[in-house]
Amino acid sequence: MSGGARRLPCGGRVDRGRPLECRFNGRRHHGLAGDTLASALLANGVRLVGRSFKFHRPRGVMSAGIEETNAIVQLCGDGEPNVLATRLWLTDGLAARSVNCWPGVAFDVGAIADKLWRVLPAGFYNKTFIWPPGFWRFYEYFIRKAAGLGRAPTAAEPARYEKRFHHCDVLVAGAGPAGLTASLAAARSGARVMLVDDQPEPGGDLLNAPAEIDGRTALDWVAAVVGEIDACPDVVRLSDATAFGYYDHNFLGVVEQRPKPPAIRERVWKVRARQVVLATGAIERPLVFADNDRPGVMLASAARAYVIRFGVRPGNTAVVFTNNNGAYGAAFDLAGNGVAVAAIIDVRADAPRSLLDKASALGIEVVLGHAIVGVRGRRQVAGVEAAPLEHPARARRFACDLVCASGGWNPTVNLFSQSGGRLRYDRGRACFVPETSVQAAHCAGAANGAFALGDCLAEGFGAGAAAARAAGYDVDIPGPPAATPTLPLDIEPLWEAPHGRRTAKAFVDVLNDVTTDDIRLAVREGYDAVEHLKRYTTGGMGLDQGKTANANIIGVLAQTLGSDIPAVGTTSFRPPYRPVSLGAIAGADIGPLVRPARRTPMTDWHEAAGAVMYDVAVGWRRPGYYPRPGETMAQAVSRECLSARDRAGMYDSSPLGKFEITGPDATTLLNRIYTNAWDDLAVGRGRYGVMLREDGRVLDDGVTFRLGAHQYLMSSTTGNAELVYAWLERWLQCEWPDFQVFVVPVTTQWANAVVCGPRARETLRCAGTDIDVERDAFPFLAIRNGTVAGFPARVARVSFTGELSFEVNVPARYGLDLWRALMAAGAEFGITPVGSEANQVLRVEKGFFAMGIETDGMATPHDLGLGWIVGKKKTDFVGKRSLARDDAVGGVRRQLVGLFTEDPRIVLPEGSQIAAPDGARTDGAIAGHVTSSVHSPTLGRSIALALLDDGRSRGGETVTIPLPEGAVRATVTRPVFYDPEGARMRG
């Protein structure tokens, strides 16, 4: 028969006109459009689909949905791992294989673990850490090899993903009966509705179980309602889309699979909803009994779904095991579709007359007050043993190849709980239900514990109307549709069926192989709080996050403790509700878009010149060094340094933070922000300044020029440009709102090229400038306006290299042309572009500290040798008061020093710890660390800067730097290695 031998002749939501072929573990199988891989496998009689995580026990399809614990597959061809076969929609040629088995699912070497169960108890993994001592390093290899399920693909993901923002009045999660009536009510009011559902077609459980609504079949009703919803102009309806996370302020994440157009593989919607309706349904709870994991044991709702929705007989002869009325419907549907039902084993002493009568009419034996106490068959269920609850030994045998179990229903409260909502244990329905919402969320239907269809329709309608009203829409519409009344669940909780066999395992978490014995062991070992138990046993920590396990774990725990379920409580529900692929989370933000690079007008030039580019501070892409053919990095850096020292160099310092500060109170602002005084700075001159945090620690430094009586140009370090701006604004807006000052960030308005070196002046002249660049006319720390190479320019004499330097600032649009003109002008003087590597060497040679490298949030200006810049006469500035506190003036301070290694060839690794100086403490204490360390081509030896305890008074002392290759000794020096008087930069 088309679509597999176990396909029913008609019925189901599969397209019998579209047969598909797929491969599973190398075998070819036939399915139909509308199948999942799981339904196709069942249709082809495949029972063994995987091996379990820890014991490698044979497993078969357990569910028909997102709660699947067993049918976990890997897509072939370096494809996605850990895909649920119950959620994998069949496409022609689809190829997948089982995970966690070798060499194959039928013969699996790892299955030996099932025989070794005595040495693999709960907490086994934790115990290997501590006992026997030191054995962890032997275990680790095997545990790591055994850990995990599928294999991550090795190649880059070729598919495209995207993210999209969406705003709506009412977001409805779930398109089952409750979600549909909620959407209908809200959409009719005119609200902007978004309806998301994780199935390819709407209907929810109506797809799996026959019902009648408003006098027609449920699916006809669904089609009509969806038609009306879709006709509303402001409705967005997504299929194959799961709301996976409910975050603060009604912000939800929705992952949409197979979106249209098909160019995108998955799309994440970031939705801000004014109101949310959670109609997320419920998941059936398995029953816990001996060997309840055998292939052929599945949820009653799943067996029903395979028959009704997929037209597949999941077995020939079924035994239904239940503690509630719901599973009877499943039994009747199975019986009506060619599956023999050997018996309904009902835990309860009695069942409603109507159900018993119908069973009798269908020839189904109902065995009341019994439980399944054993399962026969290992790779495939061959039969069950059922016994009275009080007499587990008095078992009766039933031959079957399918066991359909129902332990009640767990409302899918995950999103509600993520939103901060509180849960309540409902004894009547034996499940946790939503109690109070913290956010603007309304629960409806099975998610709210309303399991009867009529209640779902009514609750959904009410929630949708309430949400629309709360979002400001008028709802004046007829009431909800009516459904044929159904029986209540009448559940009698059974957390664990009795069994007498010592070797049988009764699983509470089938995916993670956690048994009821594991729970009792954990309790004996003291892990009896529900959150501890979870981590110790790993129950509920698998791929499915315990969708079917958690309730039974709580039940068994409460029973073991002789406690009450509300007292035991639940573990936290955290996003995501289901695994979301990393591709979907990343969206289009991959490769160069992970963090888009900031580029200066000259970045193209650097790249064209062959520079090795670095992505550094706050996203700027900068040249590291410009190697010539055949040059090593060290050779290139050395050449660039020497060129700047001996002839001329040029670097792009456009990313430096720049702020124009204007207004009558500009000088006062600088006086308060910087440690030094600014009143006497002449127009056209600049001054170095250090700003502190209020705790007296250095925040940033830079040179500020006075452009006019009430106008300054401040610079900050590149990395702190945003921080300094926020800092200035905070003081102005929050503390000194009466100041008349504007701060305007102009960092990217200006591009600048810094020409440095002894031939810098000639280079500038050669490029052509109307500024008098002679030393007397244009001294160090002065700024001039004019033209350079024909471009309007602000030229400043500042130096970060210790050489004579001109920082030529031009409006950004001229940056590249300016750079080219200066390179051309400097050619005859041997001008060389200087990258950040050489810049680092040059500044270390000069002992200029770098923010964030020599400062670590602890350094005061005194620690850095900047005592001279702290205005003693100033009454106040930010941070001044803290400099007078005990911790700043007394005790041991870590201070900036220079280091000369005894062996000049050794370049100390940056970050190396410095042992206490000779003769000082001998307790192995750390006395400091190397902050910057380079080979200085100018000096022909290694040099380093370091922060050292009381370093400023340790000049000449020897310190030891312990390294893996052996200790290195170094002499403490002043932190300046070149031109200590600064004659060159002032020249």
Partner 1 sequence: MLLIPCPWCGPRIEDEFACGGELKPGRPRDPAAVSDAEWADYVFNSDNVKGSRRERWWHAKGCRRWFTVERDTVSHRIAAVGAGDGG
Binding site for partner 1 (CB under 8 A): 247-251, 270, 272, 420, 438, 694-695, 722, 725-726, 729-730, 733-735, 737, 875-876, 880-882, 885-886
Q: Which is nearer to partner 1, 676 or 832 (CB)?
A: 676
**Residue 262 vs 737, nearer CB to partner 1:** 737
Please state, in angstroms and rounded to a whole number, the distance separating the CA atoms of residues 983 and 987: 6
Of 248 and 923, which has the nearer Cβ to partner 1? 248
DSSP secondary structure, 400-465, as one string: -SEEEEE--EEE--HHHHHTT-EEEEETTTTEEEEEE-SSSEEE-GGGGT--SHHHHHHHHHHHHH
Residue found under tokens 């400097």: 826
Parallel, antiparallel or unpaired: strands 441-443 and 507-509: unpaired
Nearest approach in angstroms of CB 424 to partner 1 is 19
Q: 217, 484 in Cβ contact below 8 A?
A: no
Closest contact distance (angstroms) between CB of 669 and partner 1 is: 15
Nearer Cβ to partner 1 (484/733): 733
The minimum distance between CB 276 and partner 1, in angstroms, equals 14
Rounded Cα distance between 880 and 875, Å, is 9
**Is the CB of 271 or the CB of 331 nearer to partner 1?**
271
Any alpha helices (H) in 836-951, and if so which ranges?
Answer: 836-846, 880-883, 886-889
* H or E stretch covering 789: none
Minimum CB distance to partner 1, residue 264 (Å): 23
Amino acid at 210: P
Least Å from the CB of residue 272 to partner 1: 6
Q: What is the Cβ-side half-sphere exposure of residue 955, based on CA atoms within 13 angstroms?
A: 6
* Least Cβ distance, residue 554 to partner 1 (angstroms): 25
Q: What number of other Cβ atoms are within 10 A of residue 608's Cβ?
A: 8
CB of 681 to partner 1, least distance (A): 24
Instruction: Kindly state the tokens that stand for 264.
Output: 């995108």
Take residue 415 and report the two structure tokens written for it. 């999103």
Please identify, using beta-carbon distances, which residue of 221 and 269 lies nearer to partner 1: 269
Both tokens assigned to 286: 């398995």
Q: Cβ closer to partner 1: 886 or 965?
A: 886
**Of 249 and 905, which has the nearer Cβ to partner 1?**
249
Which sign, positive or negative, has the C-alpha torsion 33, 39, 45, 46? positive
CB of 699 to partner 1, least distance (A): 13
Contact 657, 702 (CB under 8 A): yes
**Residue 252 Cβ vs partner 1, minimum distance, rounded to whole Å:** 10
- Measured from the CB atom, is 438 or 633 closer to partner 1? 438
Indicate if the alpha-carbon torsion angle 324, 329, 332, 337 is positive or negative. negative
Q: Is 181 helix (H, G, I), strand (E, B) or coil?
A: helix
Nearest approach, Cβ of residue 881 and partner 1 (Å): 4
CB of 391 or CB of 881, closer to partner 1? 881
- The distance of closest approach from Cβ of residue 671 to partner 1 in the complex, given in angstroms and rounded to an integer, is 14
| Distance in angstroms (rounded) separating the CA atoms of residues 456 and 178 | 5
For residue 781, which of 758, 805, 764 has the smallest C-alpha distance? 805
CB 366 within 8 A of CB 359: yes
Phi, psi for residue 943 in degrees, rounded to 5: -140, 155
- Complex with partner 1: residue 126 or 437, whichever CB lies closer: 437
- Closest approach of partner 1 to the CB of residue 157, in Å: 25
| Cβ closest to partner 1, residue 437 vs residue 559 | 437
CB atoms within 10 A of CB 905: 8
Given the DSSP bridges, would you call strands 958-963 and 941-949 parallel, antiparallel or unpaired? unpaired
Check: CB of residue 391 under 8 Å from CB of residue 419: no
Which of residues 89 and 247 has its CB atom nearest to partner 1 in the complex? 247
Amino acid at 65: G
Residue with tokens 């016994």: 387
Give me the residue label for tokens 């115990």: 127
- Using CA atoms, how far apart are residues 796 and 780, in angstroms rounded to an integer? 8
**In this structure, are strands 212-213 and 297-299 parallel, antiparallel, or unpaired?**
unpaired
Least separation in angstroms between CB 735 and partner 1 = 6
